[in-house]
Amino acid sequence: MPRRARFILGRIFQVRTFGRQLAGIRLTENQTFAFMALIVGLVGGLAAVGFHYLIDYLHDEVFGRIANWSDGLGPFKFMPGIILGGLLVGPLVTRAASEARGHGVPEVMEAVNRRGGRIRTRVASVKAIASALTIGSGGSAGREGPIVQIGSALGSTLARSFRMSDRRRSTFVAAGAAAGIAAIFNAPLAGVFFALEVILRSFTARGFSTVVISAVAANAVWRVLVGDESVLTAEVHQLIHPSELVLYAVLGIVAAIFAVGFVRLLYFVEDQFDALPVLADMRPAIGAVTVGLLGAISIDLLGSGLAGIDKALAGEFAFRFLLLLLVGKMLATALTLGSGGSGGIFSPSLFIGALLGSAYGEIVNQLFPGSTAPPGAYAVVGMAAVFAAAAQAPMSSIFIVFEMTNDFGLIMPLMAACAAATVAYTAIKKDSIYEVKLRRKNALGFQTSDDDQLMNQVPLVGAAEAKYAATQKTVSIQQAVEIMKRGREEMLLVVSADRALQGVAYLKDAQTKLEEAPTAKVSEILREDHPVAHPGATLEEGMQMLENGNTDLLPVLDWNDRVLGVANRVSIVKAHDDAAPPKNEDSD
């Protein structure tokens, strides 16, 4: 559809008021946002629960049985299921929704950056099925990317159904992401900060409150339907001595180096698979073969790695095996996602960080016996540091480790390590693991459309129509009702003899008052709080006043409060269209 046509349709049918959708209940825009955020959170929470059980069902009842039937293959018994998963995922993501390929978060960021938060509705279902197949069959991928994309698609769909503007739609995309993270990891704080830090990359009061409401609602749904147990089981640790913070900061620097290596490996493998002279449908299956071979080394290299994290935190791996798993998990995740599998990088990053931190802790305890925390403490901090570096999201990393482990004794080590990891990573590599993909698609920066610029430049006076329904305070309500019904108006301007605005009268108020007092005057239902605009206001400000005021008509006054005309959504769009320079229509 041509860009201008998209803009006009969006503006004409922009959310008329949520109050009118709710049988005449009038809500302010902030109340509307809160209500819609609640809906996004509830639906996002339900989606997370469904996604969780779908993965478990496929893992236990489908691919688990295939592994049992293949028990004769010994350590390769998971190979048939992983390959089958790859064969199913390839055609699904290639033909149904290409956005479902890979880890998902960059696609959400691109939608916010370049498409005003528009995400196709089908992406949610395709991503859920493709990721459940990838993870359930044993592919090395996490749940954060899929649930972020699923929640964001739901938020985008809801906002689009009410014809919301691009900026408002993007806020609900972030709210959907927050809901998904808050539910699937039982981590509402992490969901909020992930949405603000990674998806929106900005902090406003409205954005914050919207994602908080969604995160809380989604987490409540998760706790009711699944439970409130922590995702990980770990001992509670504490900082032994303030001087140990130096060791944790060094761990952050080491984590940044490994994060850079992981990011480069992931996209190197992706490039190699893209260059293969085979159908894209078959590439995930080819990747699954290599992942299955790695799975023969250790089952902990398969799946999201959450079970392996528990083992690393408990110190169940020998030092050399830690190093083997560290390299193996990086390679398995790169092969799974680089070949076209569907899933996230969060859980694998945590596993890589836990392995790295545990190995680092072993070395530290050998060098400083009895004066440092056990390796498990360094494993916890390593989890956060690797993801903080790779995603450039230190706050999200700190809070999600808090909430996943319930270990609040390591706050200072976590802050020191994540800060060091974030700074060290940017000294080596410019873009995060998500931004690398956006830069490759030339979709990294936010794009301001010509339409938005015009909306902020064209005076609202040009949209004020001289034809409007008006009356005076002394007129009877019966006459006012007749005027509004005759003109199919929902409100009248109440003016003085010199056209100075004194207020407005609503049809609903008039009909109610008429039943109580048939001889009442308009002055008895006069409202003086209706929004008005003065010279100097722009089209964008006028559109915002209509939304904030929960109305369809906006009186435009001169500096003496005399009525110049009335603007509405249609007249604002027309004024924009008249001011827009002629341009070629695009066909996307």
Mean pLDDT of the chain: 82
Mean pLDDT of 148-167: 80
pLDDT bucket at 221, cuts 50 / 70 / 90: very high
Task: State phi, psi for 18 to the nearest 5 degrees.
Answer: -65, -25
Q: Report all structural domains of the chain as residue ranges with CATH numbers, in order of start.
A: 8-229 (1.10.3080.10), 242-440 (1.10.3080.10), 457-579 (3.10.580.10)
Single-letter residue type at 581? P
Tell me how many degrees the CA angle 16-22-23 measures, rounded to the nearest 5.
105
C-alpha–C-alpha distance, residues 188 and 183, integer Å: 7
Mean pLDDT of 169-184: 88
C-alpha–C-alpha distance, residues 147 and 106, integer Å: 13
Provide the H-helix boundaries in 13-162: 18-21, 29-57, 64-69, 79-91, 105-114, 122-137, 144-161
Q: Is the pLDDT of residue 13 over 80?
A: no
Q: Is the pLDDT of residue 460 over 70?
A: yes
479-534 pLDDT, tens per residue? 888 888 887 777 888 888 888 888 888 888 888 888 888 888 888 888 888 888 88
Tokens 């498990």 belong to residue: 376
Q: What is the pTM of this model?
A: 0.72
401-412 pLDDT, tens per residue? 888 887 777 889
Percent above pLDDT 70 for the chain: 89
Mean pLDDT of 545-566: 80
Q: Is the pLDDT of residue 185 over 70?
A: yes
Q: Is 320 exposed, middle or buried (0-12, 13-18, 19+ CB in 10 A)?
A: exposed
Mean pLDDT of 61-90: 86
Output the six-digit token pair for 68: 């049992």
**pLDDT of amino acid 197:** 87
**pLDDT of amino acid 443:** 63
Please, how many CA atoms are within 13 Å of residue 528, restricted to the half-sphere of its CB? Answer: 6
